[in-house]
Amino acid sequence: MESEYRELVESCVRDDRKAQREMYDLFAGKMYVLCLRYAISQQEAEDVLQESFIKVFKNIKKFRGDSRLGYWIKRIVVNTALNHRRNKLYMYPMVDVDEIHQNVGHDKVFSDYGYEELLSMISELPSGCRIIFNLYAIDGYGHKEIAKKLGISEGTSKSQYSRAKMLLQKKISGEQLKDYEKFK
């Protein structure tokens, strides 16, 4: 366990409210940004954040220190956000394919854009694409793991990621996502 958080974790295990507040203050900002990537509104992101920290404090006794504390909290936040959205995913069209033969052209470098701009573009993606893009491109999950987490096929994960990239490239090149607004 990281020595800088050992005492804080031990205090949280003892249900010390002051320590819980300190842990929340240390990690809530970063985790809120993470919640925003998966939620469709600020209110939903706030709900996911609150639910996540309830789980963090309920399960802090299980934290063994095998990973960094921030990473452990992040996993709880991502899983909470996914569980929050999981029941709604059936409402969004996802195409299941075995292979993707879609040519989306050359990848434009996203580094030309600020974090807020990229977050805004990602938030405009249809829900299924947005969740899979976040999981794969930002949070580093593989398509196999995404498929298992969401109860979809690996091909669906790949096709939704490809679709998300295509939509983001269109957005960057100035095209509107009007056709996809109805799927948000």
| pLDDT exceeds cutoff 60 at 89 | no
Asked which of 70, 86, 102 is the last residue of a domain, the reply is 86
Asked if residue 104 and residue 51 are part of one domain, the reply reads: no
Residue 76 confidence (pLDDT): 95
Binned at pLDDT 50, 70 and 90, residue 23 comes out as: very high
Distance between CA atoms of 141 and 133, rounded to whole angstroms?
Answer: 10
Distance between CA atoms of 19 and 15, rounded to whole angstroms?
Answer: 8
Binned at pLDDT 50, 70 and 90, residue 149 comes out as: confident
In the chain, the number of structural domains is 2
Binned at pLDDT 50, 70 and 90, residue 121 comes out as: confident
The average pLDDT across 86-91 equals 54
Which of residues 106 and 122 earns the better pLDDT score? 122
Alpha helices by DSSP H, 14-140: 17-38, 42-59, 69-86, 115-123, 127-133
Asked if residue 140 and residue 61 are part of one domain, the reply reads: no
Domain extent at residue 145:
90-181
- Ordered DSSP codes for 80-112: HHHHHHHTTGGGS-----SS------SPPPGGG
Asked which of 26, 56, 86 is the last residue of a domain, the reply is 86
The average pLDDT across 148-176 equals 86
Distance between CA atoms of 77 and 53, rounded to whole angstroms?
Answer: 8
The average pLDDT across 143-155 equals 90
Residue 120 confidence (pLDDT): 82
Q: Which pTM value belongs to this model?
A: 0.67
Burial class (CB in 10 A: 0-12, 13-18, 19+), 100: middle
Digit-coded pLDDT (tens) for 36-76: 888 888 999 999 999 999 999 999 999 988 889 999 999 99
Asked which of 31, 63, 86 is the last residue of a domain, the reply is 86
| pLDDT exceeds cutoff 80 at 116 | no
Indicate which CATH number applies to the domain containing 14: 1.10.1740.10
Distance between CA atoms of 131 and 177, rounded to whole angstroms?
Answer: 17
34 C-beta neighbours (distance < 10 Å), count: 23
Give the dihedral sign, CA 76/80/81/82.
Answer: positive
Digit-coded pLDDT (tens) for 54-65: 999 999 999 988
Token pair of 168, please?
A: 């983001």
Residue 65 confidence (pLDDT): 85
